[in-house]
Amino acid sequence: MTTKIAVLTDVHANLPALQAALRDLEQEGYDRLIHTGDAIGIGPFPAETLETLLAVPNISFIMGNHDAWFAQGLPDLQAASYLPSWFPAHLQWTLAALNPDLRPVLAQWPYLLQENIEGVKITFLHYALDLSGRDFVTPVFEPTPATLDRLFADYDSDLIFYGHHHPFSDLQGRAHYINPGSLGCYTKAVARYALVLLENGQATIEHRSIPYDQSPLFQAYELRQVPGRETIYREIFGK
């Protein structure tokens, strides 16, 4: 038997990028789709993105930090000195745009999903978890197989899919570590995701980059007066 899984991460309320990836997946076909966290935050379409994702057939969600801030409440923003100055207002804007009735829906999303699919042990998570199991360790910004071996030492898997840190990475260490790259936050106008074909204990990985029109994205940032948008343009999209 063969199972085809699509893995998205860090859509970050970028609806045009998500729609491009979903159109491609509709043509490709898949058995399951897994989003490894941060459906919302940063982008200008939090409500529409969440509505679209929740309607996708055969989808599983992993909790990301932005998802948790909506489902479980924001951290103490005044005490969170690590956050940039524009970020608290942006978080408040994002949460105000969402239907609070969806909080219990997102609260059910797990932080970790581990499965054996067609003889391949796979872990899906947003990033390596701290001892609480409900927060994430500091990201490694230039990962190597050795650093990822240490970072994900607690997870007995052949394949580990993660996100949180937005650049693409595909490295082989003790396990095969794959970050498909943020679908919604990238300097190029492409939506990135991974396709995994599982059969007889073997996994074949294909990385896809689907072009999309960014103009509706930036128009929405301006029309909706999204806080922090100038910084987002520069630091996320390289504009």
Measured distance CA(19)–CA(232) in Å, rounded: 21
Task: Answer yes or no: is pLDDT of 124 > 80.
Answer: yes
**Phi and psi (nearest 5°) for 172?**
-110, 120
Q: What is the pLDDT of residues 189-226, one digit of tens each?
A: 999 999 999 999 999 999 999 999 999 999 999 999 99
pLDDT of residue 77: 61
pLDDT of residue 39: 98
Task: Answer yes or no: is pLDDT of 123 > 70.
Answer: yes
Section 51-79 average pLDDT: 89
Say if residues 44 and 224 touch (Cβ distance below 8 Å): yes
Q: Identify the CA nearest to 30 among candidates 1, 56, 53, 4.
A: 4
Q: Identify the CA nearest to 42 among candidates 139, 183, 151.
A: 183
Section 40-65 average pLDDT: 98
The model's pTM? 0.96
Looking at the structure of the chain, the number of domains it has is 1
Q: Could you give the percent of the chain with pLDDT greater than 90?
A: 91
Q: What is the pLDDT of residues 168-187, one digit of tens each?
A: 999 999 999 999 999 999 99
What are the b/e assignments for 119-135, b being 16+ CB within 10 Å? ebbbbbbbbbbeeeeee
SS3 content of the chain, % helix, strand, coil (to 5): 30, 25, 45
Task: Answer yes or no: is pLDDT of 45 > 70.
Answer: yes
Task: Answer yes or no: is pLDDT of 130 > 80.
Answer: yes
Look at the chain and count its residues: 239
Please give the C-alpha separations between residue 138 and each of 124, 130, 141, 233, in angstroms, as whole numbers: 18, 9, 9, 24
Asked which of 33-37, 86-90, 100-104 is least confident by mean pLDDT, the reply is 86-90
Structure tokens at 197: 């074909």
pLDDT of residue 84: 77
Task: Answer yes or no: is pLDDT of 61 > 60.
Answer: yes
pLDDT of residue 78: 56
pLDDT of residue 182: 98
Number of alpha carbons in the 13 Å side-chain half-sphere of residue 149: 6
Section 36-44 average pLDDT: 98
pLDDT of residue 86: 85
CATH number of the domain bearing residue 208: 3.60.21.10
pLDDT of residue 7: 98
Owning domain of residue 61 = 2-235
Measured distance CA(23)–CA(132) in Å, rounded: 38
